[in-house]
Amino acid sequence: MASRIIDAAARLFATQGFAATSMEQVAAACNAGKDTLYRRFPSKAALFNAVLERLRLRILERLKTEIAPAGGGGCALARLRQVARLFLTLNLDAELLAYRRIAFTEGLVFGAARPEAPPAADPILDELVLAVAEAQRAGALRPGPPEPLARHLLHSIVYGPTNEAMLGRAPAADPAAQEREFAQSWEFFLHGAARGDAPL
C-alpha cells in the first residue's frame, strides 16, 4: 500500500506541484482512505519526503549498476568522468527537475523548513566525493580535501544546465547537445580557462 501511495503522490507532485496537491487527491488517486494515508504519512511534507527518498534510492541504484565500483581497477579519472556524466543525465531528468522546482519554490525539503536541523548525509554526493578521492590518489587531480573539489565539479558540470532547464530553457535538450555541453565543462574543470602561457 505504501508503494502505491508514493506512486500516486509522485505523479501528482510532479504534475501539479506541492501546494496544489492535497492528501485527499492522493488518497483518491491510489484508492485509499484518508485514515490509511495519514497512518503511513502523518503530513503532506512527510509524504513528499518519502517520494524524494525513493527517488534518491533509485539514483543510488543507477550509480551502483552503471558505474564501475571504486577501487576496481581501470582509470580513476575515466571513472570520475563517467560518474560526473551520469550526474548531469540524472539531474536533467524531467521527474527530478519537477521536484527541484518544488523544493526551490516551496522551501519544504532538505531541512529548509527546519533551519536548526543539522544537514543530512548525502549518499549521492558521497559517491562523487569517493570518485574524486580515487582520482586524487591516482595523481590525476590535485591533492586536498575531496569534497570541495567534488562540489566544484558539480557547479562546473551540473548546476548550470540544471538551472537553465528549471527555468524552462533547454541548453542540453538532446543527447548530442548534452554531450557537447558536458565535454566542454569537463575540459574547463580539468584544465581551467586560462591559457597555459598566461601570467597568473
pLDDT digits (tens, 9 = 90+) for 129-170: 999 999 999 999 999 999 999 999 999 888 888 888 877 776
CATH (domain of 71): 1.10.357.10
Q: List Cβ neighbours of 85 (8 Å cut-off, separation of 6 or more).
A: 182, 186
- For residue 24, is it within any domain? no
- For residue 178, is it within any domain? yes
Count of Cβ atoms closer than 10 Å to residue 50 Cβ: 17
Three-state DSSP at 36 gives helix
* pLDDT digit string, tens, across residues 2-41: 889 999 999 999 888 888 999 999 999 999 888 999 999 9
- For residue 19, is it within any domain? no
- For residue 17, is it within any domain? no
In degrees rounded to 5, what are phi and psi of residue 91? -75, -15
- For residue 197, is it within any domain? no
- Domain tally, the chain: 1
- For residue 43, is it within any domain? no
pTM here is 0.77
